[in-house]
Amino acid sequence: MRVGIGYDVHKLVPERPLILGGVTIPYERGLLGHSDADVLVHAIMDALLGAAAMGDIGVHFPDSDPRYKGIASLKLLAEVKAKLAAANYEINNLDAVVVAQAPKLAPHIPAMRENIARVLGLLPAAVNVKATTTEQLGFAGRGEGIAAYAVCTLQRAAG
Ligand X SMILES: C[C@@]1(CO)OP(=O)(O)OP(=O)(O)OC[C@H]1O
Ligand Y SMILES: Nc1ccn([C@@H]2O[C@H](COP(=O)(O)O)[C@@H](O)[C@H]2O)c(=O)n1
DSSP 120: H
- How far is it, in rounded angstroms, from Cα 157 to Cα 97? 27
Residues near ligand X (CB under 6 A): 8, 33-35, 37, 42, 57-58, 61, 63, 68
Q: Which is nearer to ligand X, 32 or 117 (CB)?
A: 32
Select from ligand X, ligand Y, none the partner in contact with residue 35, using the beta carbon and a kind-dependent cut-off of 5 to 8 Å. Answer: ligand X
- How far is it, in rounded angstroms, from Cα 114 to Cα 112? 5
Does the annotation flag 133 for ligand binding? yes
Beta strands in the chain (DSSP E): 2-14, 18-20, 23-25, 29-31, 89-99, 127-132, 145-156
Which residue of this chain has its Cβ atom nearest to ligand X in the complex? 33
> How far is residue 10 CA from its own chain's centroid?
11
Q: Report whether 98 contacts 10 (CB < 8 A).
A: no
Site map (CB under 6 A) of ligand Y, residues 113-152, x = contact: ------------------xxx-------------------
Select from ligand Y, ligand X, none the partner in contact with residue 131, using the beta carbon and a kind-dependent cut-off of 5 to 8 Å. Answer: ligand Y
> In angstroms, what is the minimal distance from the CB of 42 to ligand X?
4
Does the annotation flag 132 for ligand binding? yes
- How far is it, in rounded angstroms, from Cα 76 to Cα 73? 5
> In angstroms, what is the minimal distance from the CB of 152 to ligand Y?
21
The length of the chain in residues reads 159
* Binding-site sequence positions: 8-10, 34-35, 42, 56-58, 61-65, 132-135, 139, 142
Binding site for ligand Y (CB under 6 A): 100, 102, 104-106, 131-133
